[in-house]
Amino acid sequence: MTIRHHLSEPLLMAYAAGELPEAFALVVATHVSLCDDCRARSEAWEAVGGAVVEDGFAPMGDDALEACLARLDGLEQEPRPVPQPAPRRSVFPAPLAAYVGGDVSAVKWRSLGKGVRQAILPTDRQAAARLLYIPAGVAVPDHGHRGLEMTLVLQGAFSDATGRFARGDVEIADGDLEHVPVAEPGEDCICLAATDAPLRFKAMIPRLAQPFMRI
């Protein structure tokens, strides 16, 4: 598995600091369990935070971050558990499987039409998290965003104007992106998505159904 679309540095910093809403933190934790690169960067930011707490708070100069990072090589850290990839037969990595209470068979899906299904996960009210099941070859209606959306692919793949996203890839969308994600032929696509505002659908029917879809 080659992951080509990673998390941004600000998101990893906020995750390490515990500042993300629960829904976004779940997406980050699930991606980090699959991605060696983002896991290493997340652990580096956690170490930076630990070093700051250990030294106490003081006015920061322009070179504070560089100086703190330079000190990491000399820090002795206690061993900490490293998230392990889920078994190959599992669609859900460990953080999501623990959250859902099982793998795909444990999900209570709700039909959205054309074979598309979703399951809204219980999180705090700052943002919403949902699992999406999109049959191979099916397109999600054309839409934009009123806020931030993070979509992590767990099975299959989808493509849009920005590129192709397969297992482990995460797409980060904001108000500047309007797209039509299409699940690739061959294998049905399952994603974990988090949003902090309703989507902005172009077509009338999705807009009318939006209150019932809660998306």
> Where residue 136 sits, what CATH number does that domain have?
2.60.120.10
Q: Is 174 left (phi over 0), alpha (psi -120 to 50) or beta?
A: beta
24 within 8 A of 127, measured Cβ to Cβ: yes
Domain membership of residue 106 as a residue range: 96-213
Does residue 69 lie in a domain region? Answer: no
b (16+ CB within 10 A) / e for 185-203: eeebbbbbbbbbebbbbee
Does residue 106 lie in a domain region? Answer: yes
Predicted local confidence at residue 48, as pLDDT: 81
Does residue 6 lie in a domain region? Answer: no
161 within 8 A of 179, measured Cβ to Cβ: yes
Of the chain, the end-to-end C-alpha distance in Å amounts to 30
In sequence order, which residues have a C-beta less than 8 Å from that of residue 89 and are 6 or more positions away? none
Does residue 37 lie in a domain region? Answer: no
CA atoms of 45 and 57, how far apart (whole Å): 17
pLDDT digits (tens, 9 = 90+) for 106-126: 999 999 888 999 999 999 999
Neighbours of 114 (CB within 10 A): 12
Does residue 42 lie in a domain region? Answer: no
* Predicted TM-score of the model (pTM): 0.79
Q: Which regions of the chain are under pLDDT 50?
A: 53, 75-78, 80-82, 86-87
CA atoms of 195 and 152, how far apart (whole Å): 12
Does residue 132 lie in a domain region? Answer: yes
Predicted local confidence at residue 120, as pLDDT: 95
CA atoms of 165 and 128, how far apart (whole Å): 21
Predicted local confidence at residue 114, as pLDDT: 86
Predicted local confidence at residue 53, as pLDDT: 47
Domain tally, the chain: 1
Predicted local confidence at residue 80, as pLDDT: 46
Does residue 147 lie in a domain region? Answer: yes
Does residue 47 lie in a domain region? Answer: no
